Amino acid sequence: MLQTASLPAGDVESPYGEELEMYRETVRAFFRREVEPRVREFEEHGSDRAIWRKAGEYGILGATIPEEYGGAGAHRMAIMVAAEELGYAPSGATMGSFIGTDICTNFLVDHGTEEQKKAWFPGILTGDVIQAMALTEPESGSDATSIRTTAVRDGDDYVINGSKCFISNGSKADLIYAIVKTDPAAKGRGMSVILVPGDTPGVTRRRMITQGYKGGDTGEIFFDNVRVPVSNLLGEENKAMAMFIPTIGLDRMQIVARSVGAAQAAFELTVEHCRNRKIFGQRLVDFQNTQFMLAQMETEISVGRAYLDNLIRKMWAGTLTDADSSMAKIWLCELEFRTLDSCVQLWGGNGWMDENPISRMFTAARVQRIFAGATELMKSLLGRRYL
């Protein structure tokens, strides 16, 4: 179950509430003014420090950091609003997870010591500290408990050895949340989270070139006898899985919010294209087949939006279950891909050209069915309930 709070009073238009909708306006303005004009640059070189600092200036990073530490103390659903806008912005198809990794901040909020919070919160808020959650390894994806990276206690230090891959912001992160085995014999019950500064000796990174998200800074991280103080342990030793459980559902929900945002943006771009594209002396939108395809897309997106809104209300009430988030991950990510596939069909050859945002959005939609638990894993988790 996720964080409980009261549903915003008097809010009919949006289940997020007035404060989070104001946050949405800020995030949307950031993408429109700061990210979209530089998208080609980011595709070539990845995001730079300047764009992260701009995000900090806009006040969209570290939203859940409590006010006493300089943050806004926003509800955890702020990450969903940011993710939805990441999907809605055409540049989001280039930027990958980008500010979505801000979900890492919740681990510091919930489990960090005073020393850790004071050390990292200021940089997170300004954009000077880029975060990355380092969990996935070459031999462990959906099965997180099979990770092999270890952290061995040596006096007042942990010595970390192993590697991570497919890590969002992994190639540039200043703060790496390394998920390691501190008790390998205990398997999933022997995992811990250790904070590793990106410039620690023995840490090396490699930027991974991906099918989509060209500016996403996806990285591979290697730990070669990396020494960090025991004080860098986040939370309790061997309690990583317990720390992750409250966040798993939220992570799925930010992915599905992004899917809804991307589907809506793709639909709007495609309607405009169909109104302007001429073929056989008529506008593309004048053909009945086009109208039927657009009507089908709009209907499915509207149903998807209603479904998401209902789940958001469950989140406010604290009644969202793992089954709810699993079903949402299946349905809404598949909805995004169906929508983008239909959009590309209506764009024709233009939709295959990288110069058009719809092409990049189509490619980006593919990974949504893998992120935060593949569709097949979600079905498996649901299926176990029937036994």
pLDDT tens for residues 341-350? 999 999 999 9
CA nearest neighbour of 159 among 134, 130, 196: 196
Residue by residue, what is the 3-state secondary structure of 218-230? CEEEEEEEEEEEH
Which residues of the chain fall below pLDDT 50?
1-12
Predicted confidence (pLDDT) per residue in 362-373, tens digit: 999 999 999 888
pLDDT for 155 equals 96
In the chain, CATH 2.40.110.10 sits at 133-238
pLDDT for 115 equals 97
Dihedral pair phi/psi, residue 355, rounded to 5° = -70, -15
> Residue 160 belongs to what H/E stretch?
strand 157-167
CATH classification (class only), 241-384: mainly alpha
Q: What angle do CA 110, 116, 118 make, to 5 degrees?
A: 100
pTM, two decimals, is: 0.92
Bridge partners, 279 (sequence order): 282
Q: 322-347 vs 288-317: helix axis angle to the nearest 10?
A: 160
Q: Is 288 exposed, middle or buried (0-12, 13-18, 19+ CB in 10 A)?
A: exposed
CATH superfamily placement of domain 133-238: Butyryl-CoA Dehydrogenase, subunit A, domain 2 (2.40.110.10)
Cα separation, 230 vs 243, in Å, equals: 18
CATH classification (class only), 18-130: mainly alpha
In the chain, CATH 1.10.540.10 sits at 18-130
pLDDT for 142 equals 67
In the chain, CATH 1.20.140.10 sits at 241-384
Largest CA distance in the chain: 79
pLDDT for 141 equals 65
